[in-house]
Amino acid sequence: MTDPANSAGGVSAGTTYNLVFVPGDGIGPEVIAAGRRVLEAAGRLHDFDFRWHEILIGGVAIDAYGVPMRDEDLAACAAADAVYFGAIGDPKYDDPKAKVRPEQALLALRKGLGLYANLRPVSVQPVLRASSPVRESLLEGVDMMIVRELTGGLYFGKPSEQRDTPAGREVVDTLAYTEHEIRRVVKLAFELARGRRKKLASVDKANVLSSSRLWRTIVEEVKVDYPDVTVEHRLVDSCAMSLIQQPAVFDVIVTENLFGDILSDEASVLAGSLGMLPSASIGERHTNYGLHGLYEPIHGSAPYIAGQDVANPIATILSGAMLLRWSLGQDAAADAIERAVTAALTGGYRTPDLLVAGNADGLSPVGTQAMGDAVMAALEAAVGGVAQEEPVR
Protein backbone atom coordinates (compact mmCIF):
# COMPACT_ATOMS: atom_id res chain seq x y z
CA MET A 1 0.00 0.00 0.00
CA THR A 2 1.08 3.55 -0.55
CA ASP A 3 2.43 5.18 2.56
CA PRO A 4 0.16 8.21 3.17
CA ALA A 5 3.22 10.02 4.54
CA ASN A 6 4.65 9.97 1.03
CA SER A 7 1.75 11.72 -0.62
CA ALA A 8 2.13 15.45 -0.90
CA GLY A 9 0.19 17.05 1.95
CA GLY A 10 -2.36 14.24 1.81
CA VAL A 11 -3.64 15.61 -1.50
CA SER A 12 -3.05 12.35 -3.31
CA ALA A 13 -3.51 9.26 -1.20
CA GLY A 14 -2.36 6.94 -4.00
CA THR A 15 -4.48 4.18 -5.46
CA THR A 16 -4.04 0.43 -5.36
CA TYR A 17 -5.14 -1.10 -8.65
CA ASN A 18 -6.23 -4.70 -9.02
CA LEU A 19 -4.45 -6.32 -11.93
CA VAL A 20 -4.67 -9.87 -13.16
CA PHE A 21 -1.47 -11.06 -14.76
CA VAL A 22 -1.14 -14.01 -17.08
CA PRO A 23 2.42 -15.27 -17.59
CA GLY A 24 1.25 -17.99 -19.99
CA ASP A 25 3.64 -20.17 -21.98
CA GLY A 26 7.12 -20.02 -23.52
CA ILE A 27 8.76 -16.64 -23.00
CA GLY A 28 5.52 -15.26 -21.46
CA PRO A 29 6.65 -15.64 -17.81
CA GLU A 30 10.00 -13.93 -18.49
CA VAL A 31 8.65 -10.90 -20.34
CA ILE A 32 5.74 -10.44 -17.94
CA ALA A 33 8.13 -10.51 -14.95
CA ALA A 34 10.19 -7.72 -16.51
CA GLY A 35 7.02 -5.79 -17.34
CA ARG A 36 5.67 -6.09 -13.80
CA ARG A 37 8.89 -4.79 -12.31
CA VAL A 38 8.72 -1.74 -14.56
CA LEU A 39 5.06 -1.13 -13.69
CA GLU A 40 5.89 -1.44 -9.97
CA ALA A 41 8.71 1.07 -10.38
CA ALA A 42 6.42 3.49 -12.23
CA GLY A 43 3.91 3.13 -9.40
CA ARG A 44 6.51 3.91 -6.75
CA LEU A 45 7.53 7.04 -8.63
CA HIS A 46 3.99 8.21 -9.41
CA ASP A 47 2.29 7.32 -6.12
CA PHE A 48 0.17 4.28 -6.90
CA ASP A 49 0.59 0.56 -6.55
CA PHE A 50 -0.90 -2.76 -7.51
CA ARG A 51 -2.54 -5.82 -6.06
CA TRP A 52 -1.51 -8.62 -8.42
CA HIS A 53 -3.50 -11.79 -9.04
CA GLU A 54 -1.81 -14.46 -11.14
CA ILE A 55 -3.86 -16.83 -13.24
CA LEU A 56 -2.92 -19.70 -15.49
CA ILE A 57 -4.18 -19.55 -19.06
CA GLY A 58 -2.95 -21.39 -22.15
CA GLY A 59 -0.78 -24.50 -22.32
CA VAL A 60 0.05 -24.21 -18.61
CA ALA A 61 -3.68 -24.29 -17.82
CA ILE A 62 -4.22 -27.35 -20.02
CA ASP A 63 -1.42 -29.03 -18.09
CA ALA A 64 -2.79 -27.95 -14.70
CA TYR A 65 -6.56 -28.14 -15.21
CA GLY A 66 -7.17 -29.91 -18.53
CA VAL A 67 -8.69 -26.77 -20.09
CA PRO A 68 -7.00 -23.70 -21.64
CA MET A 69 -9.00 -21.36 -19.39
CA ARG A 70 -11.34 -21.99 -16.47
CA ASP A 71 -14.59 -19.97 -16.11
CA GLU A 72 -13.42 -18.63 -12.75
CA ASP A 73 -10.28 -17.25 -14.36
CA LEU A 74 -12.30 -15.44 -17.01
CA ALA A 75 -14.40 -14.03 -14.15
CA ALA A 76 -11.23 -12.89 -12.35
CA CYS A 77 -10.09 -11.08 -15.51
CA ALA A 78 -13.48 -9.38 -15.79
CA ALA A 79 -13.36 -8.30 -12.14
CA ALA A 80 -9.85 -6.81 -12.33
CA ASP A 81 -9.09 -3.22 -13.34
CA ALA A 82 -7.07 -4.61 -16.28
CA VAL A 83 -5.34 -7.75 -17.49
CA TYR A 84 -1.60 -7.90 -18.17
CA PHE A 85 -0.87 -10.77 -20.52
CA GLY A 86 2.40 -12.46 -21.52
CA ALA A 87 2.02 -14.97 -24.35
CA ILE A 88 0.47 -18.36 -24.90
CA GLY A 89 1.10 -21.30 -27.22
CA ASP A 90 3.10 -24.48 -26.95
CA PRO A 91 4.25 -26.77 -29.77
CA LYS A 92 3.10 -29.79 -27.82
CA TYR A 93 -0.48 -28.72 -28.61
CA ASP A 94 0.20 -28.11 -32.32
CA ASP A 95 -1.24 -31.47 -33.39
CA PRO A 96 -3.98 -30.55 -35.90
CA LYS A 97 -6.21 -33.19 -34.29
CA ALA A 98 -5.83 -31.72 -30.77
CA LYS A 99 -9.21 -30.94 -29.20
CA VAL A 100 -7.85 -28.29 -26.88
CA ARG A 101 -5.29 -25.66 -27.82
CA PRO A 102 -3.81 -22.80 -25.77
CA GLU A 103 -4.92 -20.18 -28.32
CA GLN A 104 -8.58 -21.02 -27.66
CA ALA A 105 -8.17 -19.36 -24.27
CA LEU A 106 -6.95 -16.09 -25.71
CA LEU A 107 -9.85 -15.96 -28.16
CA ALA A 108 -12.33 -16.83 -25.39
CA LEU A 109 -10.81 -14.14 -23.20
CA ARG A 110 -11.05 -11.47 -25.91
CA LYS A 111 -14.63 -12.48 -26.68
CA GLY A 112 -15.65 -13.03 -23.07
CA LEU A 113 -14.39 -9.59 -22.03
CA GLY A 114 -15.96 -7.88 -25.07
CA LEU A 115 -12.58 -6.56 -26.26
CA TYR A 116 -13.58 -5.76 -29.81
CA ALA A 117 -10.71 -3.41 -30.67
CA ASN A 118 -7.03 -4.19 -30.66
CA LEU A 119 -4.77 -1.16 -30.85
CA ARG A 120 -1.31 -1.83 -32.21
CA PRO A 121 0.84 1.30 -32.40
CA VAL A 122 3.85 1.07 -34.71
CA SER A 123 6.67 3.57 -34.46
CA VAL A 124 10.37 3.31 -35.09
CA GLN A 125 12.88 4.32 -32.45
CA PRO A 126 15.49 6.40 -34.34
CA VAL A 127 18.33 4.37 -32.80
CA LEU A 128 16.75 1.16 -34.11
CA ARG A 129 16.41 2.22 -37.75
CA ALA A 130 19.45 0.13 -38.60
CA SER A 131 17.83 -2.92 -36.94
CA SER A 132 15.12 -3.01 -39.60
CA PRO A 133 15.78 -4.66 -42.95
CA VAL A 134 13.80 -1.80 -44.51
CA ARG A 135 15.94 1.04 -45.90
CA GLU A 136 16.52 3.66 -43.20
CA SER A 137 15.29 6.61 -45.28
CA LEU A 138 11.85 4.98 -45.54
CA LEU A 139 11.52 4.69 -41.76
CA GLU A 140 11.66 8.36 -40.95
CA GLY A 141 8.32 9.58 -39.65
CA VAL A 142 6.76 6.13 -39.30
CA ASP A 143 4.04 6.48 -36.69
CA MET A 144 0.86 4.51 -37.21
CA MET A 145 -1.90 2.97 -35.18
CA ILE A 146 -3.30 -0.29 -36.47
CA VAL A 147 -6.84 -0.85 -35.19
CA ARG A 148 -7.62 -4.51 -35.57
CA GLU A 149 -11.19 -5.76 -35.08
CA LEU A 150 -10.74 -8.48 -32.49
CA THR A 151 -13.93 -10.42 -31.75
CA GLY A 152 -15.38 -11.16 -35.17
CA GLY A 153 -14.44 -12.33 -38.64
CA LEU A 154 -12.77 -15.62 -39.48
CA TYR A 155 -11.56 -16.15 -35.91
CA PHE A 156 -15.10 -16.58 -34.59
CA GLY A 157 -17.45 -17.29 -37.52
CA LYS A 158 -19.39 -20.55 -37.47
CA PRO A 159 -19.28 -23.06 -38.99
CA SER A 160 -15.56 -23.63 -38.62
CA GLU A 161 -14.88 -27.30 -39.05
CA GLN A 162 -13.55 -30.19 -41.09
CA ARG A 163 -16.05 -32.69 -42.50
CA ASP A 164 -15.80 -36.09 -44.13
CA THR A 165 -17.80 -36.38 -47.33
CA PRO A 166 -18.05 -39.17 -49.93
CA ALA A 167 -15.73 -37.06 -52.12
CA GLY A 168 -13.12 -36.72 -49.38
CA ARG A 169 -12.40 -34.27 -46.58
CA GLU A 170 -13.67 -30.72 -46.77
CA VAL A 171 -13.26 -27.77 -44.48
CA VAL A 172 -15.01 -24.49 -43.82
CA ASP A 173 -14.23 -21.28 -41.93
CA THR A 174 -16.71 -18.42 -41.88
CA LEU A 175 -16.03 -14.71 -42.21
CA ALA A 176 -19.07 -13.11 -40.58
CA TYR A 177 -19.68 -9.59 -39.32
CA THR A 178 -22.74 -7.74 -38.15
CA GLU A 179 -23.24 -4.12 -38.99
CA HIS A 180 -22.91 -3.26 -35.30
CA GLU A 181 -19.55 -5.03 -35.00
CA ILE A 182 -18.12 -3.12 -37.94
CA ARG A 183 -19.55 0.25 -36.97
CA ARG A 184 -18.19 0.32 -33.41
CA VAL A 185 -14.59 -0.44 -34.40
CA VAL A 186 -14.72 1.94 -37.36
CA LYS A 187 -16.03 4.73 -35.12
CA LEU A 188 -13.23 4.12 -32.65
CA ALA A 189 -10.70 4.34 -35.48
CA PHE A 190 -12.17 7.65 -36.63
CA GLU A 191 -11.96 8.97 -33.06
CA LEU A 192 -8.31 7.93 -32.84
CA ALA A 193 -7.53 9.50 -36.21
CA ARG A 194 -9.13 12.72 -35.05
CA GLY A 195 -6.63 12.88 -32.17
CA ARG A 196 -3.69 12.18 -34.50
CA ARG A 197 -2.85 13.21 -38.10
CA LYS A 198 -6.51 12.83 -39.17
CA LYS A 199 -5.88 10.18 -41.81
CA LEU A 200 -7.69 6.87 -41.83
CA ALA A 201 -6.96 3.92 -44.11
CA SER A 202 -9.72 1.32 -44.05
CA VAL A 203 -8.32 -1.97 -45.31
CA ASP A 204 -10.48 -4.63 -46.93
CA LYS A 205 -10.80 -6.96 -49.91
CA ALA A 206 -13.95 -5.42 -51.32
CA ASN A 207 -13.19 -6.58 -54.87
CA VAL A 208 -13.79 -10.16 -53.70
CA LEU A 209 -15.48 -10.42 -50.29
CA SER A 210 -19.06 -9.51 -49.37
CA SER A 211 -17.97 -8.84 -45.80
CA SER A 212 -15.54 -6.23 -47.11
CA ARG A 213 -18.25 -4.55 -49.17
CA LEU A 214 -20.42 -4.04 -46.08
CA TRP A 215 -17.30 -2.88 -44.21
CA ARG A 216 -16.66 -0.26 -46.92
CA THR A 217 -20.29 0.88 -46.91
CA ILE A 218 -20.22 1.40 -43.17
CA VAL A 219 -16.97 3.36 -43.32
CA GLU A 220 -18.68 5.63 -45.88
CA GLU A 221 -21.67 6.06 -43.53
CA VAL A 222 -19.57 6.80 -40.44
CA LYS A 223 -17.27 9.24 -42.20
CA VAL A 224 -20.12 11.77 -42.50
CA ASP A 225 -19.66 12.42 -38.77
CA TYR A 226 -15.91 13.00 -39.19
CA PRO A 227 -15.50 15.60 -41.95
CA ASP A 228 -12.10 16.54 -40.50
CA VAL A 229 -10.69 13.04 -41.13
CA THR A 230 -9.48 11.99 -44.59
CA VAL A 231 -10.43 8.40 -45.41
CA GLU A 232 -9.11 6.09 -48.04
CA HIS A 233 -10.16 2.52 -48.78
CA ARG A 234 -7.25 0.21 -49.41
CA LEU A 235 -7.25 -3.36 -50.64
CA VAL A 236 -5.35 -5.53 -48.22
CA ASP A 237 -2.85 -6.90 -50.74
CA SER A 238 -1.81 -3.50 -52.03
CA CYS A 239 -1.79 -2.11 -48.48
CA ALA A 240 0.63 -4.88 -47.48
CA MET A 241 2.95 -3.66 -50.20
CA SER A 242 2.64 0.04 -49.26
CA LEU A 243 3.42 -0.75 -45.63
CA ILE A 244 6.96 -1.55 -46.74
CA GLN A 245 7.25 0.86 -49.69
CA GLN A 246 5.85 3.98 -48.01
CA PRO A 247 5.26 3.19 -44.34
CA ALA A 248 5.36 6.83 -43.23
CA VAL A 249 2.16 7.72 -45.10
CA PHE A 250 -0.02 5.70 -42.73
CA ASP A 251 -1.68 7.25 -39.69
CA VAL A 252 -4.60 5.08 -38.50
CA ILE A 253 -5.39 1.78 -40.18
CA VAL A 254 -8.65 -0.03 -39.40
CA THR A 255 -9.28 -3.54 -40.57
CA GLU A 256 -10.91 -6.87 -39.83
CA ASN A 257 -9.46 -9.44 -37.49
CA LEU A 258 -7.29 -11.65 -39.73
CA PHE A 259 -6.08 -8.84 -41.99
CA GLY A 260 -5.05 -6.94 -38.84
CA ASP A 261 -3.23 -9.96 -37.45
CA ILE A 262 -1.18 -10.28 -40.62
CA LEU A 263 -0.54 -6.60 -41.30
CA SER A 264 0.61 -5.92 -37.73
CA ASP A 265 3.27 -8.63 -37.83
CA GLU A 266 4.38 -7.20 -41.16
CA ALA A 267 4.52 -3.68 -39.70
CA SER A 268 6.67 -4.90 -36.80
CA VAL A 269 9.51 -5.35 -39.29
CA LEU A 270 9.62 -1.56 -39.54
CA ALA A 271 10.19 -1.27 -35.79
CA GLY A 272 13.20 -3.56 -36.00
CA SER A 273 11.71 -6.55 -34.21
CA LEU A 274 8.42 -8.23 -33.36
CA GLY A 275 9.68 -7.84 -29.80
CA MET A 276 9.06 -4.09 -29.93
CA LEU A 277 5.30 -3.91 -30.54
CA PRO A 278 2.77 -3.61 -27.72
CA SER A 279 -0.99 -3.83 -27.90
CA ALA A 280 -4.12 -2.83 -26.05
CA SER A 281 -7.40 -4.69 -26.41
CA ILE A 282 -10.35 -2.62 -25.31
CA GLY A 283 -14.13 -2.71 -25.44
CA GLU A 284 -17.00 -0.62 -24.18
CA ARG A 285 -16.84 -1.36 -20.48
CA HIS A 286 -15.43 1.21 -18.08
CA THR A 287 -14.03 0.61 -14.61
CA ASN A 288 -13.60 3.30 -11.95
CA TYR A 289 -10.36 4.34 -13.62
CA GLY A 290 -10.70 3.94 -17.39
CA LEU A 291 -11.58 1.39 -20.03
CA HIS A 292 -11.40 -2.23 -19.05
CA GLY A 293 -8.74 -3.87 -21.18
CA LEU A 294 -6.13 -6.52 -21.82
CA TYR A 295 -2.54 -5.62 -22.65
CA GLU A 296 -0.16 -7.95 -24.40
CA PRO A 297 2.85 -7.91 -26.69
CA ILE A 298 1.88 -8.76 -30.28
CA HIS A 299 4.49 -11.52 -30.40
CA GLY A 300 3.81 -15.09 -29.41
CA SER A 301 5.33 -17.47 -26.89
CA ALA A 302 8.53 -18.16 -28.93
CA PRO A 303 9.08 -21.58 -27.31
CA TYR A 304 12.47 -22.02 -29.03
CA ILE A 305 14.00 -19.28 -26.87
CA ALA A 306 11.94 -19.81 -23.70
CA GLY A 307 13.75 -19.95 -20.37
CA GLN A 308 17.01 -18.56 -21.77
CA ASP A 309 16.64 -14.92 -20.64
CA VAL A 310 17.08 -13.68 -24.21
CA ALA A 311 13.55 -12.54 -25.16
CA ASN A 312 13.02 -8.82 -25.70
CA PRO A 313 10.67 -7.55 -22.95
CA ILE A 314 10.09 -4.12 -24.55
CA ALA A 315 6.79 -5.05 -26.25
CA THR A 316 5.48 -6.18 -22.86
CA ILE A 317 6.88 -3.14 -21.05
CA LEU A 318 5.25 -0.83 -23.62
CA SER A 319 2.00 -2.79 -23.25
CA GLY A 320 2.25 -1.92 -19.55
CA ALA A 321 2.46 1.75 -20.51
CA MET A 322 -0.68 1.34 -22.62
CA LEU A 323 -2.37 -0.31 -19.63
CA LEU A 324 -1.56 2.70 -17.46
CA ARG A 325 -2.90 5.09 -20.10
CA TRP A 326 -6.05 3.33 -21.27
CA SER A 327 -7.22 1.46 -18.19
CA LEU A 328 -5.86 3.43 -15.24
CA GLY A 329 -5.72 7.02 -16.46
CA GLN A 330 -2.06 7.25 -15.36
CA ASP A 331 -0.86 9.12 -18.44
CA ALA A 332 2.21 10.69 -16.85
CA ALA A 333 3.51 7.31 -15.69
CA ALA A 334 2.77 5.83 -19.13
CA ASP A 335 4.72 8.61 -20.83
CA ALA A 336 7.59 8.11 -18.37
CA ILE A 337 7.82 4.39 -19.23
CA GLU A 338 7.86 5.14 -22.94
CA ARG A 339 10.60 7.70 -22.47
CA ALA A 340 12.56 5.24 -20.33
CA VAL A 341 12.40 2.61 -23.10
CA THR A 342 13.78 5.16 -25.55
CA ALA A 343 16.50 6.11 -23.07
CA ALA A 344 17.54 2.48 -22.51
CA LEU A 345 17.80 1.93 -26.26
CA THR A 346 19.65 5.20 -26.76
CA GLY A 347 21.98 4.07 -23.96
CA GLY A 348 22.91 1.13 -26.19
CA TYR A 349 21.10 -1.74 -24.46
CA ARG A 350 20.05 -4.41 -26.97
CA THR A 351 18.47 -7.83 -26.66
CA PRO A 352 19.68 -10.28 -29.35
CA ASP A 353 16.71 -9.63 -31.68
CA LEU A 354 17.82 -6.00 -31.99
CA LEU A 355 21.43 -6.69 -32.94
CA VAL A 356 21.98 -6.50 -36.68
CA ALA A 357 23.64 -9.76 -37.72
CA GLY A 358 24.75 -10.20 -34.11
CA ASN A 359 26.95 -7.10 -34.35
CA ALA A 360 27.24 -5.51 -30.89
CA ASP A 361 29.95 -2.94 -31.64
CA GLY A 362 29.57 -0.05 -29.21
CA LEU A 363 26.38 -1.56 -27.79
CA SER A 364 25.53 -3.41 -24.57
CA PRO A 365 24.02 -6.81 -25.32
CA VAL A 366 21.57 -7.75 -22.57
CA GLY A 367 19.03 -10.42 -21.71
CA THR A 368 15.39 -10.07 -20.73
CA GLN A 369 15.91 -9.16 -17.09
CA ALA A 370 18.81 -6.80 -17.75
CA MET A 371 16.76 -4.95 -20.37
CA GLY A 372 14.02 -4.60 -17.75
CA ASP A 373 16.65 -3.27 -15.32
CA ALA A 374 17.91 -0.78 -17.92
CA VAL A 375 14.38 0.56 -18.44
CA MET A 376 13.84 0.80 -14.67
CA ALA A 377 17.13 2.61 -14.21
CA ALA A 378 16.17 5.10 -16.92
CA LEU A 379 12.76 5.59 -15.33
CA GLU A 380 14.30 6.29 -11.96
CA ALA A 381 17.05 8.48 -13.34
CA ALA A 382 14.45 10.63 -15.09
CA VAL A 383 12.87 11.66 -11.79
CA GLY A 384 16.27 12.07 -10.19
CA GLY A 385 15.72 9.54 -7.46
CA VAL A 386 16.07 5.81 -7.02
CA ALA A 387 12.79 4.28 -5.96
CA GLN A 388 13.15 1.56 -3.36
CA GLU A 389 12.50 -1.73 -5.12
CA GLU A 390 10.36 -4.26 -3.35
CA PRO A 391 10.56 -7.85 -4.51
CA VAL A 392 7.68 -8.81 -6.81
CA ARG A 393 6.25 -12.04 -5.30
Roughly what angle, to the nearest 10 degrees, separates helices 368-382 and 331-346? 120
Which residues between 60 and 89 bind ligand IPM (CB under 6 A)? 89
Roughly what angle, to the nearest 10 degrees, separates helices 368-382 and 314-326? 50
Shortest approach of ligand IPM to residue 364 CB, angstroms?
Answer: 30
Q: Candidates 134-142, 230-238, 260-268, 328-336 — which segment interacts with Mg ion by CB under 5 A?
A: 260-268
Shortest approach of ligand IPM to residue 297 CB, angstroms?
Answer: 9
What residues contact 123, with CB distance under 8 A and at least 6 apart?
142, 143, 144, 271
| Residue 214 φ/ψ, nearest 5 degrees | -65, -40
Ramachandran area for residue 128 (φ above 0: left; ψ -120 to 50: alpha; else beta) = alpha
Q: Candidates 47-55, 136-144, 256-264, 359-367 — which segment interacts with Mg ion by CB under 5 A?
A: 256-264
Binding residues for Mg ion, how many (CB under 5 A)? 1
Tell me whether residue 93 or residue 349 sits nearer to ligand IPM (CB atom): 93
Tell me whether residue 256 or residue 261 sits nearer to Mg ion (CB atom): 261
CB burial string 293-310: b at 16+ within 10 A, e below = bbbbbbbbbbbebbeebb
Residue 300's binding partner, choosing from ligand IPM, Mg ion, none, with beta-carbon cut-off 5 to 8 A by kind? ligand IPM
Residue closest to ligand IPM, measured at CB:
103
Residues with catalytic annotation?
Answer: 155, 205, 237, 261, 265
Per-position x/- string for 282-321, each x denoting binding to ligand IPM as judged by CB under 6 A, each - no binding: ----------------x-x---------------------
Q: Which of 106, 314, 333, 378 binds ligand IPM (CB under 6 A)?
A: 106
Distances (CA, A) of 253 to 8, 121, 263, 298, 351: 42, 10, 10, 16, 29
CB atoms within 10 A of CB 62: 24
What residues contact 254, with CB distance under 8 A and at least 6 apart?
147, 149, 185, 186, 189, 200, 201, 202, 203, 219
Say whether residue 149 binds ligand IPM (CB under 6 A).
no
Q: Which of 25, 40, 81, 261 binds Mg ion (CB under 5 A)?
A: 261
Residue 89's binding partner, choosing from Mg ion, ligand IPM, none, with beta-carbon cut-off 5 to 8 A by kind? ligand IPM
Q: Which residues bind Mg ion (CB under 5 A)?
A: 261
Q: Which residues bind ligand IPM (CB under 6 A)?
A: 89, 103, 106, 261, 298, 300
